[in-house]
Structure 1
Amino acid sequence: MSSSDIFISETIGTAVLILLGGGVCAAVTFKRSKAFNAGWVAIAFGWGFAVLTGAYIAAKSGAHLNPAVTIGLAIKGGIEWSQVPVYFGGEMLGAMIGAVLVWITYYGQFQAHLSDPEVLADHTGEEGLVDQSAAPSAGPVLGIFSTGPEIRNAVQNLATEIIATTVLVLSILTLGLSDNGKGVGVIGTLLVALVVTGIGLSLGGPTGYAINPVRDLGPRIVHALLPLRNKGGSDWGYAWIPVVGPLIGGALAGGIYQVAFA
């Protein structure tokens, strides 16, 4: 498979993953959405279906959609290390495109939400402007784009992302991905989507389960760049955790596979 085939496949698949995953977060967040307040179960299943759809679309490249998966496969020997930057590039670009598509899809809801006095009440100062000193970390729509911890403890947050990603990548590696990176097939893809749903329900509570560096970093960059009035900060102080944690988890899963299953 050529580098261009890998890049295009991963870009499109990851874009759809983020569009549907970020879309369910937006649907649950916005009051002017029919899915408002649908809850965590809706988000977990929404992300599971997002993985399922993106993976089917990107089947040609093996549907990594996630640098942690790419790292795990490279350690396993399923892909050449020379292909890793190509996968990373497509995954990152796709994540940013998907985040922009979420903004376009929910444009009216973003505008209404960010001008709602109730939404801004906890983020504004006396002059009606966003008080960045009071809420420097997370604006009122950041959760649609990227993850954040319920309890801010760097060690725990990092450990949570490592553990959750190790479960994800190890499940993929042991589902029988062929050494040429062709993927797990129709049933295997469905099982991976169910694993993602299970991780969300069981391990997603502490940090929002990024378990994918580009799933968090790409949309966070888009949040920082989009012209959204009153959006607040992008929480760059936390941003390294959902990048480093999943990469460590992917490498750890690859190592466990080599020791226990190879």
Structure 2
Amino acid sequence: MSHYLAEFIGTAILIFLGDGVCANITLNKSKSQNAGSLFCMIGWSLAVGVPALIFGGISGAHFNPALTIAFAAIGKFPWAEVPGYVVSQMLGGFIGAVLVWIHYLPHWAESKDIPSEVILSIFCTTPAIRNYTMNFISEFMATFILVFTILGVGAAKTADGVGTVFVAFIILVIGTGLGGTTGFAINPARDLSPRIAHALLPINGKNGSDWAYSWIPVIAPVCGGIAAAGMFAVIF
């Protein structure tokens, strides 16, 4: 249970801090409004690194169903624990998104002039150019890099110390290099759970949660993660 609790709390912290960055640079009357994409990407990379440092020695700090499934696919993680990890991660992602809504509660009412799709992007990813085939490929490739590099630096077993620093840098370089197409979800718990929260929460001016796109940040990362783990296992 400590593993599942670590995944739940760690994912909640990740989303609270990561989506919090998005809210911080987007919502009206926020002191960091319009701080820019680099600000956002640095914040997201640290949002992953901080809980990884805390929980790496307990659960391995997956915080990502695509990562958990990829590790299991090559025998680096027991399949019996996969359902518990995935459920914990998804619940944590939902709670993290709710915490963002609570933290910025006065700002939603002040942001009625912000387009609904921009408000949605605080919680989950949206494509820069809507092309489902290429959006899928982008998420597949970005998650492939994520899983392959994490396996490469040995962060599959421990995410503390040097490993944690590398994980944060991996997220940063994926964001700066590959994030312009889809917003680099690379994690179903990072996208689907906050999307559900967006659908349920009473957010001013929201207009749908873009369910037509929602399958891509779920399926593509899982496929990309499995492919990366398989290639890593073949090479090494």
Q: TM-score, normalised by structure 2?
A: 0.96
Does residue 153 in structure 1 map to residue 150 in structure 2? no
Displacement of 1:76 in angstroms is: 2.7
Q: Which residue does 2:145 correspond to in 1?
A: 167
Is the contact made by 2:108 and 2:204 (CA closer than 8 Å) also made in structure 1? no
Q: Which residue does 2:81 correspond to in 1?
A: 83
**Aligned mates of 1:227, 1:191 — CA distance in 2:** 38
Q: Please, what is the CA RMSD of the aligned residues? A: 1.2
**Aligned mates of 1:175, 1:75 — CA distance in 2:** 18
SS at match of 1:77: coil
**Aligned mates of 1:119, 1:94 — CA distance in 2:** 27
Q: Which residue does 2:42 correspond to in 1?
A: 45
Is the contact made by 1:76 and 1:257 (CA closer than 8 Å) also made in structure 2? no
Q: Which residue does 1:128 correspond to in 2?
A: none
Which of residues 94, 107, 114 is equivalent to 1:119? 114
Q: Which residue does 2:226 correspond to in 1?
A: 251
Amino acid at match of 1:85: P
SS at match of 1:185: coil
Q: Which residue does 1:125 correspond to in 2?
A: none
Q: Which residue does 1:226 correspond to in 2?
A: 201
Amino acid at match of 1:141: I
Does residue 29 in structure 1 map to residue 26 in structure 2? yes
Displacement of 1:5 in angstroms is: 1.2
Output one character per residue of 1:78-115: Cα deviation in whole Å (capped at 9) or x when no partner.
Answer: 2111111111011001000000000011001112112x
Q: Which residue does 2:214 correspond to in 1?
A: 239
Q: TM-score, normalised by structure 1?
A: 0.87
Displacement of 1:229 in angstroms is: 3.1
**Aligned mates of 2:30, 2:191 — CA distance in 1:** 23
Q: Where in structure 1 do 4 or more consecutive aligned residues deviate above 2 Å?
A: none
Output one character per residue of 1:136-193: Cα deviation in whole Å (capped at 9) or x when no partner.
Answer: xx5441010000001000010000000000000111111124xxx6414310111011
Is the contact made by 1:52 and 1:190 (CA closer than 8 Å) also made in structure 2? yes
Is the contact made by 1:71 and 1:254 (CA closer than 8 Å) also made in structure 2? no
Is the contact made by 2:124 and 2:190 (CA closer than 8 Å) also made in structure 1? yes
Q: Which residue does 1:194 correspond to in 2?
A: 169
**Aligned mates of 2:49, 2:118 — CA distance in 1:** 29
**Aligned mates of 2:223, 2:209 — CA distance in 1:** 23
Q: Which residue does 2:186 correspond to in 1?
A: 211
**Aligned mates of 1:98, 1:155 — CA distance in 2:** 30
Output one character per residue of 1:42-81: Cα deviation in whole Å (capped at 9) or x when no partner.
Answer: 1110100000112122221000000111112112322111
Which runs of no fewer than 5 residues in structure 2 stay unpaired? none
For the pair shown, the structure with the greater C-alpha radius of gyration is: 1
Q: Which residue does 1:74 correspond to in 2?
A: 72
- Aligned residue-pair number: 235
